[in-house]
Amino acid sequence: MTGTSRAPGGHDADSAYRSSTRFEHETLPQRVCFASGEAAATVRAEVQRLGAARVMVIAAAAEAELAQQVTAGLPVVLRWSEVVMHVPVEVAERARAAAARGHVDCVVSVGGGSTTGLAKAIALTTDLPLVAVPTTYAGSEATSVWGLTEQARKTTGVDARVLPRSIVYDATLTVSLPVPMSVASGLNALAHCVDAMWGPRVDPIDRALAAEGIRALATGLPAVVTDPAGLWGRERTLYGTYLSAVAFSSAGSGLHHKICHVLGGMYDLPHAQTHAVVLPYVLAFNASAAPEAEQRIAAAFGAESAIEGLQRLRHDVDAPKALRDYGLEEADADNAVQAVLDVVPDSNPRPVTAHDLRRLLRSAWAGTDPSTMTDGKEDR
């Protein structure tokens, strides 16, 4: 049989048709070990794989007992419990100095995003290998993004040195995470998916990972709420968390994360809850200017529109509703406008003005209907 092959749309594949799909995607070098109930054995195997003999374990005081169980049998020479949200520079410096004094050759973090963030801060200046054992859905363990806060300003960056060599996911370690915190943390993961859809370096692989992450989180989180002790919902949520973080790390930080980093650094707001509250307002603001991304998000939710799907999920899991519930004053929202405007990505689908940010932040502060962000009408 002979003939000319045909490309989509009826064009000759070897002549008229020219692909418009062109991108570069870098896959991060990292081992991912996923097995419920096997954290201790898996961590031992990963540390042995690294050839480490002097391990530093980072875990907040509240998770000290859990960390003892997870790191049983390791050659631990230092346990560090000073873990502070948003990783203040002075805390990072003290931990780095302790690691140097202890001649540490590997760091194991057991905990949420703040714990992982501190381990990354150590790796940033020491090149020490990390093994991350998440107990929340923060996703930091799967990214090469670091963050430090100094004088009420949070600075983030990307560096291959901070990417954990291995992640050990064990859903049993998340069962003790209270439902409200699980919801906030899971919505933080969902924010990674949404921001990845229009991040500055987004490519088709990022969008595919983000869409699958949304599907996983949209089914996993309600199951966690319904059956907090059950593993299916916890595993599904952890799976979605990993996908969300990989997509976000590749696509880069978008408007949503820029807003939350500014608010967290300036006002020391709780990380996960801030992301959970701000997300629908950024989605509503950007959706009409990014129709392909909006359709992907809607399809992942199984909804008519992206914002409808997100709002339905938020209702089902009783999501955090307003920044004022977490200590932000109305004047703070206004005062943060310029700081956010200074870091808005040029790639954001919709132009962003100071007026837009003021409306968005005030709406998130009050917890008003996010649909008001879809057009230019004034607050009422």
If asked whether residues 139 and 47 sit together in one domain, one would say yes
Distance CA 183, CA 177 (A): 10
**Helix, strand, coil % over all residues of the chain, rounded to 5:** 55, 10, 35
More confident residue, 15 or 244: 244
Sheet holding 31-34, edge to edge: 31-34, 166-169, 130-134, 106-111, 55-58, 76-80
- Examine residue 12 and state whether it is found in any structural domain, yes or no: no
> How confident is the model over 2-32, as pLDDT tens digits?
444 444 444 444 445 555 677 887 787 899 9
1 pLDDT tier (thresholds 50, 70, 90) = very low
pLDDT at 16: 56
> How confident is the model over 307-325, as pLDDT tens digits?
999 999 999 999 999 999 9
Residue pair 169/242 in contact by the 8 Å Cβ criterion:
yes
Domain boundary at 155, 174, 193, which? 174
pLDDT at 377: 47
Domain boundary at 106, 139, 174, which? 174
Average pLDDT, rounded, for the chain: 91
Distance CA 161, CA 205 (A): 23
**Structural domain range at position 290:** 179-374
Domain of 63, CATH number, reads 3.40.50.1970
- Examine residue 10 and state whether it is found in any structural domain, yes or no: no
Mean pLDDT across 213-237: 97
Count of structural domains within the chain: 2
Percentage of the chain exceeding pLDDT 90: 82
Mean pLDDT across 277-292: 95
If asked whether residues 54 and 119 sit together in one domain, one would say yes
Domain boundary at 126, 150, 174, which? 174
If asked whether residues 344 and 197 sit together in one domain, one would say yes
If asked whether residues 248 and 285 sit together in one domain, one would say yes
If asked whether residues 140 and 286 sit together in one domain, one would say no
Residue 27: count other Cβ atoms within 10 Å of its Cβ: 8
95-104, 117-126, 348-357, 368-377: the lowest-pLDDT one: 368-377
Domain of 261, CATH number, reads 1.20.1090.10
154-158, 189-193, 198-202, 227-231: the lowest-pLDDT one: 154-158
- Examine residue 305 and state whether it is found in any structural domain, yes or no: yes
- Examine residue 170 and state whether it is found in any structural domain, yes or no: yes
pLDDT at 18: 59
pLDDT at 181: 95
Residue 318 token pair: 């009783």
More confident residue, 28 or 63: 63
Distance CA 315, CA 280 (A): 12
> How confident is the model over 165-191, as pLDDT tens digits?
999 999 999 999 999 999 999 999 999
